[in-house]
Amino acid sequence: MADDFEYDFFISRTGKDSAIALRIAAVLESEGLRFLLQDVDFVPTTEIVERMEAGMNRARCTISVLSPEYFDSPYTKSELRAAFDRDPDGTKGTLVLIRAREFEIPYPYKSRVWIDFVDVDEAAERTLLLRLIGKLRDRGVLAVPVPPASGFAISNLPQRNENFTGRRELLERLHSALHAEGAAAVTQAVHGLGGVGKTQLALEYAHAFGNEYDLRWWIESETQPETGFAALAPRLGLEFPEGTDQRIVVAAVRDWLESHDRWLLVFDNVEQPEAIAELRPRSGGGHVVVTSR
């Protein structure tokens, strides 16, 4: 696919939904996608409207974070109309609608399929966005990432905590434990470290030693960890008809991992070991990190 655009996504939002827009941007960044977002790329100036319009024209797709306030603003309404006019029948896939809060989307946009962020947590938001990105890549709207010569090619890691300091000894212990058994699927649990921040420790490990893995996949495991696990399927090139039993998808992802190496799975906040028993690969040259109370 020829790359005639400077950005993959322009993110359109009102100030009230800046937090959601930043979370969307974090997922896009983790996927290696280029985005333009006012909160990140612009400072307030008298020319900001003109700069936003120019930036939107340099983006392949537009994500509109919809809310009642969105349709009260002439600026965001104009951005949405411009994106809609570029893809009036929805066949190009260049306009992505995300409903941020409970309200009825007005005509003509209500006829489009949208992603619903109402009453879902951040883990579910991430899963929904990753599915969208996978579909856009399958359709050729977005480029499929080419694996680099070294480092990781597939990742959905949350953003690194730049304020994480110290704990180097714990990171080294975790690294040593995972590598102690050689080229095999190894599971290491992070628990019993009150006050350390088990999630932050696992996240820092995944970033600090990321160049040792070609795949790094983060799974929120407090509820339905199999959903986050199955979301890896399209990134591995595993395709299934709509409505395929999730257990079949899970088994296919596990089989893929068991026949490959240089991968890292992080199951965060596991309540009970049996919750991920069917998800953990038993072989393959990868590592599994589990955080648990």
| Gap between the terminal Cα atoms of the chain | 46
For the segment 229-267, what is each residue's pLDDT rounded down to a tens digit?
Answer: 999 998 888 888 888 899 999 999 998 998 888 899 999
DSSP-assigned states of every residue in the chain: -----SEEEEEE--GGGHHHHHHHHHHHHHTT--EEEHHHH----TTHHHHHHHHHHTEEEEEEEE-TTGGG-HHHHHHHHHHHHHSTTS-S--EEEEE-SSSPPPTTGGGS--EE-TT--HHHHHHHHHHHHHHHHHTTSSPPPPPPSSS-SEE-PPPP-TT----HHHHHHHHHHHHTT-SS-EEEEE-S-TTT-HHHHHHHHHHHTGGG-SEEEEEE-SS-HHHHHHTTGGGGT----TT--HHHHHHHHHHHHHT-EEEEEEEEEES-GGGGTTTS-SSSEEEEEEEE-
Taking each helix axis from N to C end, the angle separating 168-179 and 198-208, rounded to the nearest 10 degrees, works out to 70
Contact 142, 136 (CB under 8 A): yes
pTM above 0.75, yes or no: no
The tokens for 125 are 């938001």
Radius of gyration of the chain (CA): 20
- In the block, tokens 């600090």 appear at 208
Contact 65, 13 (CB under 8 A): yes
Please give the torsion angle defined by the CA atoms of residues 228, 233, 235 and 238, in that order, rounded to the nearest 10 degrees: -170
| Residue pLDDT tens, the chain, 293 long | 445 788 899 999 998 999 999 899 888 887 778 888 876 655 444 455 566 666 678 899 999 999 999 999 988 998 999 999 999 888 888 999 999 999 999 999 988 888 999 998 888 888 889 888 888 888 888 887 654 444 457 889 888 877 766 667 788 888 888 877 654 445 555 665 445 578 888 888 888 888 888 899 999 887 789 999 999 998 888 888 888 899 999 999 998 998 888 899 999 888 888 888 889 888 878 899 988 87
Contact 236, 284 (CB under 8 A): no
